[in-house]
Amino acid sequence: MQIAENETALVAELSILPDPLVRLEWLTSQGGKAPPLEPAERTPEARVSGCVSEVFLQASFEKGRCRFRGESNSPLIQGLLQLFFRIYDDTPPQAILAKRSNILEQLDLARHITPTRLRGLGAVLDRMEGFARSHL
């Protein structure tokens, strides 16, 4: 399963940083390197409700696979979005719906993220799963 493989690779990569807070700092720094959305892509329909920060998600379906891009005005959330995209981007809808990632727990990050932000990240995953469901 591609999602489990993507998670395993990310855990191995980020376990080099033994402190979860250092992992969060690194993810925050990496989020700023992601290409931004075009202004026209930041539409009310693309905005993920339930997030404290502004989060915009763009999804497309190409050759039987779901593609995801997005951005947030929060550097932390931007970094975490990129983590989710590395797990879910370019995967078939069935794989997305078969397993919800628990990467934040695997990397011991969830306990360092506020409950409000965790709910917002859950809303992002819900939106990604909804997109996958619509392309079964």
Residue 53 has pLDDT above 70, yes or no: yes
What string of DSSP letters covers 118-130? HHHHHHHHHHHHH
Is 48 exposed, middle or buried, given 0-12, 13-18 or 19+ CB atoms closer than 10 A?
buried
Q: How high is the pLDDT of residue 99? A: 87
The whole-number average pLDDT for the span 72-89 is 96
Q: How high is the pLDDT of residue 51? A: 83
pLDDT above 90 covers what percent of the chain?
93
CA distances to 26, 84, 104, 119, 129 from 126, rounded to whole Å, are 25, 12, 15, 10, 5
Inter-helix orientation angle 2-14/75-88, to 10°: 130
Q: Which helix (H) or strand (E) holds 70?
A: strand 65-72
d(CA 59, CA 111): 29
d(CA 67, CA 60): 5
Nearest to 80 by CA among 42, 45, 112: 112
d(CA 124, CA 47): 10
Q: 23-32 pLDDT, tens per residue?
A: 999 999 998 8
Q: How high is the pLDDT of residue 1? A: 64
Output the pTM of the full model: 0.94
